[in-house]
Structures are given as C-alpha cells and as structure tokens.
C-alpha cells in the first residue's frame, strides 16, 4: 500500500471500528474457536509477493475476528477490563500515524511535556499531594518491577547494580497473599528470590495484611540477620478486591525505613471519586503508587500511571546516559526513559488528554459510580437466591459467589462446571478464583459502555444455567 491509498482504507477501518463497537454486544463474549483453529488457517510460509489490502482485510474478518474474545463487550464481567473509549482510540490512531519514539525530551518534546502535564492532572484527580510526580509505564507490572528494583538499590546503598547480589545480605520484601503475581515476577527479575518474598497473613473482610504480623515478620528477619528492604501493599487485589490497611502498614514501613509501593492497578481509578478514598487512608505516605487508566478509566491499553514521591530514587536506580542519549544545552528537561526499564517509549499521554477532555472528571466519575452501584444491585439480588452463597462482599464493583445447592458434594467441581457453562453460553463472561482454598466465581463490572440492564442480565444467566446443572 502507498500513502496515497491510505485515507480510503483509513475511512473503511474507521467505519468498521464504529460498527464493531456499536454491535459488539450482539456477539458471544468469549471466542468460540478451538486451540489451533487460527494457527491452522494461516499459511505456513510468508508470501513472496505483496497482496492487496482487500484480500488482507477479508482474511482479518474471516480468520482473526472469530478468534477474538471481545473485551469491549458490555457484558464482559471476567477479568478487569481493558477499555477503549472512543476518544482514546482516536488518539491511539494518531499516535500510530505519527509513530514517535518518546525515549527522550529531544526525540519527542511534545510527548514528554504532555506526559508531565497529564500525570499531574491524574495526580490532582486522585488528590495526591503536589510532591508526587508521575511517569506513564506500559503496565502495573513494570511499575512494580521499577519499585522493587528501587527497594533493592536503596537497601544496598546503591551498590546492587554495581556489585551484584552475591556478596550482599539477603533482602526481604513484604506483601500479603493477595497481591498480583506480577509481584512474584518482579522479585524474580530483581534477583531477590522467591524465598525472600514474605507473605504476611491477612485478616478482616477486606482480606488485608495484618499489621501486627507484618511487624513481627520484620523483627524476626532482623533477628535472623536478614535485611528488610521494602513493602508492597495492595488496594483492590485481582481475586477478591483485597485491600491492605494502608495507614497502619505505612507507619510500620516508616518505622523500619522500608521503601513502600502501593499496587492499585484496578481500584486506583475509583479514587477520582472522593467517597472511595477511605479505602487507602494515608496513601500520601507511600513512596510509590501505581494505577492503570487502561483498566477502569477508559484509556486504551497500554497506559499505567506510576506516581513517585521522590523520582530521584528511581532515576538513580535505572538511568544510564551514554553520550548519544544526552541533550546538551537544555536545562531542566525530563527524559522519561530514565524512569522506566525500557529505553523505547510510546506516546501514551495523548490518549489520556483526549479522554479527560472529552468526558471531564465528572463524566468519568459517573461511569465508575454506576458500575459500582449496578454491581452492588446484582450482588443484592443474587444474595436472595437460596442456592447461592456470597463469599466475599463487594469491594467497589468486585465480589465473589458460589453455587451451593442442597445436597451438592463437590462444590469446586460444580462451580467450575457452572462458570464454564456460562462462558460457553456466550451472553456474559465470568471467571473463577480461589478464596481460602475454595473455588468461587468472580463478578466485576467495569466495561466502559456497559449499562444497568447488561449487569442485571447476569442474574438471569447465572441462575438459569445453574438450574440446568442440578
């Protein structure tokens, strides 16, 4: 394709995208292909000669689309959503068209400065203190890795990168059992080792870390000659929405000089609503905070907002500045590649700008509040059904339940059969998790265009299919 043909196909793709989003609710939520269907439909060898876009696009519709699980479906209630609000999609289109590499200020001045401003807009929307500065990471996993690397370097007096870990005292990182598996991966990549990730017991309906147990674990490690290095806290965990007692735990981190990181990848979006901020009291005491606008706020994937009380700690951990990456003659510039593990960076700030300007904070708050209210209504309705048990209560728009009819003996097998039957049915999409060893079913509402009727349909689908399993 030549550029003088691009606009025609651009219009066709735009029309296709608009129709897709307007009609996606008519499709089964989850892909119905079998393993290997897409792979086997693709030629085993690349073409030697170029093909026309008509043929390529026809194959896209015929081969690719049947194998797509529709994350933009209004009844996608499984994993935390990966949203794509219309203004964000347009911004991503423009980003793809201009294709900047945003590693340095000089390589993309507008991208760098827009990122600085957008992160401050997000900071204000969460009511974080002005001392926090932000950077857009690709995912919360990368932000957590950056935080763990900073924990390591600070605990080793900035010698880990230079000397390695071989001659160092073992470092200890503390978290609860409810944190995301990205924490484990960060521990691996940072060279700290799985056995040095200390899982602190949880308690209470929020399934949060027990502060007394945290203090006891730190004291035990010190007595054993180990080096406490950092604390990772959870606000809105993936399984059940588990949330640690932030203020109490951060006080302990301060008592022992531990670098602290809060993973609020999903629930952080809700903190643009003042009424939900009681879930993270004392958040301003943290060193590092992450949430994903690409999950619940509506920004197109990928876009993770990482806030830092002292960015110099992160820069000292990650920055490498060979001569070819230096910008001479410009004072006070930020090179965000020094704030991230990758050198290359996408222009992610543009879609935040488009989204917030299109809806305003109040428009975004209304969506979040609706999701929470509708999810709570569904919870209350299903709780009245005699054969269903609520396992964990709503945390924002996330809660879990289990089908437990009288006389059933293997509830794990029954509920796995139920969630599979629901997903095979296609009207809604749920997923399972485990709570205290028991298999349960998750529900969360967060798709950008979902409606109350979409959410309440889940009651009919769940109860109808459950009865067929008796």
Work out the widest C-alpha separation in the chain, in whole angstroms: 77
Clarify whether residues 72 and 110 are in a common domain.
Answer: no
- What whole-number distance in Å separates Cα of residue 145 and Cα of residue 333? 25
Provide the sign of the torsion angle of the four alpha carbons 280, 286, 292, 293, taken in this order: positive
% of the chain at pLDDT higher than 70: 96
Same domain, 276 and 312: yes
CA distance 80 to 296: 8
Prior bond of 349 cis (ω within 30°) = no
Of the three residues 83, 110, 127, the one that is the final residue of a domain is 83
Residue 17's domain comprises: 3-83
Sequence-ordered alpha helix ranges (H) in 99-225: 109-126, 140-155, 160-163, 181-189, 211-223
pLDDT > 70? residue 118: yes
> Measured between alpha carbons, how far is residue 453 from residues 13, 177, 459 in Å?
30, 35, 10
- Is 447 inside a domain boundary? no
**Which residues neighbour 395 within 8 Å (Cβ) at sequence distance 6 or greater?**
206, 236, 240, 241, 242, 243, 267, 279
Residue 425 lies in a domain: no
Tokens standing for residue 275: 């009424």
> Does 65 share its domain with 122?
no
Indicate if 168 and 258 belong to the same structural domain.
Answer: yes
**Claim to verify: residue 52 and residue 151 sit in the same structural domain:** no
| 166 pLDDT tier (thresholds 50, 70, 90) | confident
pLDDT surpassing 70 at residue 389: yes
* Higher per-residue confidence, 397 vs 177: 397
Do 331 and 195 share a structural domain? yes
Residue 323 has pLDDT above 70, yes or no: no
Q: CATH no. for residue 197?
A: 3.40.640.10
Residue 453 has pLDDT above 80, yes or no: yes
Reported pTM: 0.91
Domain count, the chain: 2
Same domain, 285 and 218: yes
Q: How many CB atoms lie within 10 A of CB 191?
A: 16
3-state secondary structure of 323: helix
Of 324, 346, 368, the one marking the end of a domain is 346
196 domain-assigned: yes
Burial class for 35, CB neighbours closer than 10 Å (0-12, 13-18, 19+) = exposed
In which band, very low, low, confident or very high, does the pLDDT at 162 lie, cut at 50, 70 and 90?
confident
User: Six-digit token pair at 262?
Assistant: 């809060």
Higher pLDDT, 69 or 336: 69
Say yes or no: 160 and 20 in one domain.
no
Quick one: pLDDT at residue 322?
A: 54
Are 348 and 303 in contact by the 8 Å Cβ rule? The answer is yes
Same domain, residue pair 173 and 78: no
pLDDT in the model for residue 325:
57
Considering only 52-66, 201-215, 316-330, 384-398, which range has the smallest mean pLDDT? 316-330
**Residue where a domain terminates, one of 299, 320, 346:** 346
Quote the pLDDT of residue 105.
Answer: 66
Q: Are residues 262 and 144 part of one domain?
A: yes
Is 304 part of any domain? yes
- If asked whether residues 42 and 144 sit together in one domain, one would say no
Residue 14 belongs to some domain of the structure: yes
The whole-number average pLDDT for the span 203-208 is 92
For the chain, give the number of residues. 470
pLDDT in tens, 127-143: 999 999 999 988 888 89
Shared-domain flag, residues 25 and 165: no
């Amino acid at each position: 394709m030549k550029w003088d043909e691009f606009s025609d196909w651009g219009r066709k793709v735009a029309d296709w995208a608009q129709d897709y989003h307007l009609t996606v609710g008519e499709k089964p939520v989850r892909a119905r292909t079998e393993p290997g269907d897409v792979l086997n439909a693709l030629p085993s060898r690349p073409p030697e000669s170029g093909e026309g876009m008509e043929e390529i696009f026809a194959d896209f519709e015929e081969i690719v689309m049947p194998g797509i699980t529709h994350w933009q479906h209004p009844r996608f209630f499984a994993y935390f959503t990966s949203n794509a609000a219309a203004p964000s999609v347009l911004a991503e289109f423009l980003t793809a068209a201009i294709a900047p590499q945003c590693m340095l200020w000089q390589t993309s001045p507008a991208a760098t400065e827009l990122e600085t401003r957008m992160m401050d807009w997000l900071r204000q929307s969460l009511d974080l203190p002005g001392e926090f500065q932000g950077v857009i990471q690709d995912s919360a996993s990368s932000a957590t890795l950056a935080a763990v690397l900073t924990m390591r370097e600070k605990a080793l007096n900035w010698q880990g990168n230079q000397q390695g870990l071989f001659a160092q005292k073992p470092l200890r990182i503390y978290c609860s059992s409810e944190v995301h598996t990205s924490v484990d991966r960060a521990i691996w990549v940072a060279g700290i080792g799985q056995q040095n990730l200390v899982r602190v017991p949880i308690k209470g309906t929020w399934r949060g870390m027990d502060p007394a147990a945290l203090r006891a674990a730190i004291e035990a490690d010190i007595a054993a000659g180990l080096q406490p290095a950092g604390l990772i806290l959870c606000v809105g965990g993936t399984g059940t929405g588990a949330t640690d007692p932030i203020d109490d735990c951060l006080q302990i981190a301060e008592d022992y000089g531990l670098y602290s990181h809060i993973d609020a990848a999903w629930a952080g979006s809700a903190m643009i609503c003042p009424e939900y901020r009681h879930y993270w009291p004392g958040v301003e005491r943290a060193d590092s905070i992450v949430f994903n606008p690409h999950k619940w706020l509506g920004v197109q994937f990928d876009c993770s907002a990482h806030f830092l009380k002292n960015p110099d700690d992160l820069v000292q951990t990650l920055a490498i500045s060979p001569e070819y990456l230096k910008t001479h003659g410009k004072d006070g510039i930020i090179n965000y590649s020094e704030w991230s593990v990758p050198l290359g960076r996408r222009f992610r700030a543009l879609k935040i700008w488009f989204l917030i300007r299109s809806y305003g904070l109040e428009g975004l708050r209304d969506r979040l509040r609706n999701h929470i209210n509708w999810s709570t209504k569904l919870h209350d309705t299903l709780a009245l059904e005699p054969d269903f048990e609520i396992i964990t209560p709503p945390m924002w728009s996330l809660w879990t339940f289990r089908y437990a009819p009288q006389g059933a003996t293997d509830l794990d097998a029954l509920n796995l059969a139920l969630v599979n039957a629901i997903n095979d049915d296609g009207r809604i999409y749920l997923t399972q998790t485990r709570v205290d060893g028991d298999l349960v079913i998750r529900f969360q509402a967060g798709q950008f265009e979902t409606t109350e009727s979409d959410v309440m349909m889940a009651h009919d689908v769940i109860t109808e299919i459950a009865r067929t399993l008796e």
